[in-house]
Amino acid sequence: MRPVLRAEGLRHRRGGFALEVGSLEVHPGEVLAVLGPSGSGKTTLLRLLADLLPPEEGRVEGGFRVYLPQSPPLLRRSVLENAAFGLRLHGVPKGEAHRRAKAMLERVGLGPRAHQAAHTLSGGEAVRLALARTLLVDPEVLLLDEPTASLDPSHVARVEDLLREAAREGRGVVLATHDLFQARRLAGRVLFLLQGQVVELADAPSFFQRPKDPRSRAFLEGRLF
């Protein structure tokens, strides 16, 4: 199957920190979890994959990608206008953009909030709105940085359902998370980063049950921060 995203020979330095990724592919319908302690390079990797940071070496190729930071910015407009914003930027007429946005808001459980000011939403609702806005522009790859951090369990479950649905639709999903249980629930493969280096890239069951590298095992057992 042809990958929707491919990275080769990536290297990016920031001060004394260097991120290096030799080879990485993401395929349609795949959820790839990026794990690692704080400061291991997860956000830097996502930003490189999204073409928001230029690599010093290497290249990234693939389809239309959208990056969602941990706290996605919302416009000081209505929920509906926020959802339709990406479509409007792509030249979709206002009426059609609002029609499609309303349907997507129903799908993510925000239909009744359509005319509410976006800044009044709860954290979980804001994340769902950001996902709705992203899905409406039909990306081939979603790059998400801790999308459920600090959300209550009911909101986490709803966001995870949206990510599963995005993968079922054939999108590639790259998810940076500190939540090992979330990675177990969602991921088909796991990329484990430590100090900017890829320690292990494996299918999720193998990584969680039989990690090959002792550093991976130490991380899973809570002995590596």
Per-residue pLDDT, 7 = 97
> DSSP label at 197?
E
Domain boundary among 64, 92, 120: 120
Per-residue pLDDT, 225 = 65
Q: Is residue 133 part of a domain?
A: no
What CATH number is associated with residue 213?
3.40.50.300
The reply to whether 61 and 148 lie within a common domain is: yes
Q: Give 5's strand partners.
A: 26, 62
Low-confidence ranges of the chain (pLDDT < 70): 225
Which residue range is the domain that position 86 belongs to?
A: 75-120
Q: Is residue 19 part of a domain?
A: yes
Per-residue pLDDT, 80 = 98
Q: Is residue 113 part of a domain?
A: yes
Per-residue pLDDT, 183 = 97
The reply to whether 183 and 100 lie within a common domain is: no
- Could you report how far apart the first and last alpha carbons of the chain are, in Å? 36
**Is 136:101 a contact under the CB 8 Å cutoff?**
yes
Per-residue pLDDT, 133 = 95
Q: Is residue 57 part of a domain?
A: yes
User: How many domains are there within the chain?
Assistant: 2
**Is 129:147 a contact under the CB 8 Å cutoff?**
no
Q: Is residue 61 part of a domain?
A: yes
